[in-house]
């Protein structure tokens, strides 16, 4: 296991989207089959969500989006297996989410498959976004899940495993990065076949340009175009995304340079009160302080990469009242002083991770 900072394991958080979508039972049946293979009583879990096995097996029945959330939350509480999202990914075959799976599998290359996964992921997971940073070296596949660590682990694991499988095992990730501490990072390394860095500044995985360009073994342009037409029709029926946590993070990031990092400022721009904003975030299983801390953590690493900014100026830009407070926070985030972190930024990404882990 590779760590940037020390941290205790935390249970995955499952968030319910503010505007609930519905799914065809075809699109979610696979996840319940995987739970059964891992030893869970699927019928009992479904009953907690108010549905039955017959509901799930009806191919034309619309299933409310909260059913998956409720079932997976209950499975997490039982804790029959470690790394449940990772294990679910390993137990979920291609075709479990048929429309999305075959759109990805019929793409020309790893990169094109990942782009289509990012475009249509909302069909099966409405509260996760995938961002592909092609300008980075190595290329980064960044998962945005608004603090939902379960969804983050599942998305990272499934996307990496799918690409590896569709290249007949030829694609290898450079490394996986997780903002949190999973149950067992060593099992992630074993099943995903690459280093895993925990308590990092971002969540996702990285791959080389060569791996990004690898062809997929089932590329089929005609099938893909037909499937994408179906996917576009389905997306048009979904309610608009109402991701409050993402909007809070966006406002904090955009206005950080102005020193506007207060809940009063964000609430005013969202036409609400601080108390109401906190209440809505709490209903999503998160808090304003959590998101402000995440935005500061990610921005700190970016600002320190700019040699024209002093450490004191970085502290000011992040809204800290004094450099000492920034130093304490930075040590919590990365396990090292900001000056040392800045020096290490000149090293290649994987070397930096290894040096920080050794401290």
Encode 323-359 in three state secondary structure.
Answer: HHHHHHHHHHHHCCCHHHHHHHCCCCHHHHHHHHHHC
Separation between Cα atoms, residue 260 and residue 332, nearest integer Å: 23
Burial class (CB in 10 A: 0-12, 13-18, 19+), 330: buried
Is residue 153 within 8 Å of 146, Cβ to Cβ? no
Query: What pLDDT was estimated at residue 3?
Result: 44
Tell whether the model's pLDDT for residue 191 goes beyond 60. Answer: yes
Burial class (CB in 10 A: 0-12, 13-18, 19+), 119: middle
Interval 149-177: pLDDT, tens: 888 999 999 999 999 999 999 999 999 99
| C-beta atoms surrounding 183 within 10 Å | 19
Interval 238-292: pLDDT, tens: 655 556 787 788 778 877 777 778 898 888 777 678 888 888 888 777 889 988 8
Same domain, 254 and 224: no
Is residue 56 within 8 Å of 29, Cβ to Cβ? yes
| pTM (2 d.p.) | 0.63
Query: What pLDDT was estimated at residue 12?
Result: 38
| C-beta atoms surrounding 54 within 10 Å | 10
CA dihedral 264, 267, 271, 272 (to 10 degrees): -100
- Tokens 């304490």 -> residue: 328
Mean pLDDT of 130-139: 89
Same domain, 210 and 289: no
Structurally, the chain folds into a number of domains equal to 2
Q: Where is the domain boundary, 237, 252, 270?
A: 237
Query: Which letter, b or e, does each residue of 127-164 get, where b requires 16 or more Cβ atoms within 10 Å of its Cβ?
Result: bbbbebeeeeebbbbbbbbbbbbbbbbbbbbbbbbbbb
Encode 166-208 in three state secondary structure.
Answer: HCCCCCCCCEEECCCCCCCHHHHHHHHCCCEEECCCCCEEEEC
Residue percentage of the chain with pLDDT more than 90: 31
Which range is most confident: 81-95, 258-272, 306-320?
Answer: 81-95
Residues 6+ apart with CB under 8 A from 130: 114, 117, 118, 121, 141, 142, 143, 144, 155, 159
- End-to-end Cα, the chain, rounded Å: 14
Closest to 270 measured CA to CA, from 300, 286, 250 = 250
Is residue 286 within 8 Å of 245, Cβ to Cβ? yes
Q: Kindly write down the DSSP assignment for every residue of 78-134, as one continuous string.
A: HT-SSSHHHHHHHH--TTSSHHHHHHHHTSSBHHHHHHHHHHHGGGT-TT-EEEEET
Residue bearing the bigger pLDDT, 193 or 9: 193
Tell whether the model's pLDDT for residue 330 goes beyond 60. Answer: yes
Task: Report the CATH number at residue 312.
Answer: 1.10.10.60
- Write down the mean pLDDT value for the chain: 82
Residue bearing the bigger pLDDT, 323 or 140: 140
What domain range is 71 assigned to?
A: 2-237
Tell whether the model's pLDDT for residue 2 goes beyond 60. Answer: no
Query: What pLDDT was estimated at residue 346?
Result: 60
Residue bearing the bigger pLDDT, 206 or 306: 206
The DSSP H or E segment spanning 64 is strand 62-64
Mark residue 284 as left, alpha or beta (left: phi above 0; alpha: psi -120 to 50; beta: remaining). alpha
Same domain, 248 and 136: no
Q: How many CA atoms lie within 13 A of 30 on its CB side?
A: 19
Mean pLDDT of 7-24: 40
Same domain, 90 and 133: yes
Lowest mean pLDDT among 35-44, 243-252, 314-323: 243-252
Residue bearing the bigger pLDDT, 328 or 15: 328
Interval 202-243: pLDDT, tens: 899 999 999 999 999 999 999 999 998 888 888 777 655 556
Same domain, 172 and 192: yes
Same domain, 228 and 318: no
Tell whether the model's pLDDT for residue 110 goes beyond 90. Answer: yes
Same domain, 219 and 263: no
Same domain, 31 and 75: yes
Same domain, 233 and 248: no
Query: What pLDDT was estimated at residue 198?
Result: 92
Same domain, 349 and 277: yes
Query: What pLDDT was estimated at residue 166?
Result: 96
Same domain, 31 and 137: yes
**How would residue 11 be classed by pLDDT, with cut points 50, 70 and 90?**
very low
Same domain, 142 and 209: yes
What crossing angle do the helices spanning 110-120 and 98-105 adopt, rounded to 10°? 150
Tell whether the model's pLDDT for residue 193 goes beyond 70. Answer: yes
Residue bearing the bigger pLDDT, 17 or 149: 149
């Amino acid at each position: 296991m590779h760590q940037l900072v020390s941290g205790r394991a935390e249970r995955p958080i499952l968030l319910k989207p503010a505007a609930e979508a519905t799914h065809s039972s075809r699109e979610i049946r696979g996840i319940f089959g995987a739970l059964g293979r891992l030893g869970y009583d699927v019928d009992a879990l479904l009953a907690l969500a108010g549905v039955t096995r017959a509901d799930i097996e009806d191919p034309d029945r619309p299933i409310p989006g909260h059913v998956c959330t409720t079932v997976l939350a209950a499975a997490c509480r039982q804790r029959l297996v470690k790394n449940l999202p990772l294990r679910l990914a390993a137990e979920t075959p291609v075709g479990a989410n048929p429309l999305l799976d075959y759109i990805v599998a019929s793409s020309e290359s790893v990169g094109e498959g990942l782009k289509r996964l990012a475009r249509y992921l909302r069909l099966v997971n409405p509260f996760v976004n995938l961002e592909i940073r092609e300008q980075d070296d190595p290329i980064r596949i960044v998962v945005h899940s608004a603090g939902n660590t379960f969804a983050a682990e599942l998305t990272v694991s499934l996307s990496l495993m799918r690409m590896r499988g569709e290249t007949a095992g030829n694609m290898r990730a450079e490394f996986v990065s997780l903002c949190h501490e999973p149950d067992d990072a060593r099992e992630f390394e074993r099943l995903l076949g690459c280093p895993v860095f925990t308590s990092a500044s971002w969540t996702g995985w990285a791959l080389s340009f060569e791996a990004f360009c690898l062809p997929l073994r089932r590329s089929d342009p005609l099938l893909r175009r037909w499937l994408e037409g179906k996917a576009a029709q389905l997306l048009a029926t979904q309610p608009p995304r109402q991701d409050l946590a993402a909007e809070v993070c966006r406002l904090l990031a955009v206005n950080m340079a102005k020193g506007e990092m207060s809940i009063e400022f964000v609430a005013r721009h969202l036409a609400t009160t601080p108390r109401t904003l906190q209440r809505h975030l709490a209903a999503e299983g998160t808090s304003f302080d959590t998101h402000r801390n995440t935005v500061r953590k990610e921005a700190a690493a970016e600002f320190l990469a700019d040699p024209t900014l002093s450490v004191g100026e970085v502290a000011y830009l992040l809204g800290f009242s004094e450099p000492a407070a920034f130093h304490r926070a930075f040590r919590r985030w990365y396990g090292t002083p900001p000056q040392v972190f800045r020096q290490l930024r000149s090293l290649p990404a994987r070397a930096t991770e290894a040096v920080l882990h050794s401290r």
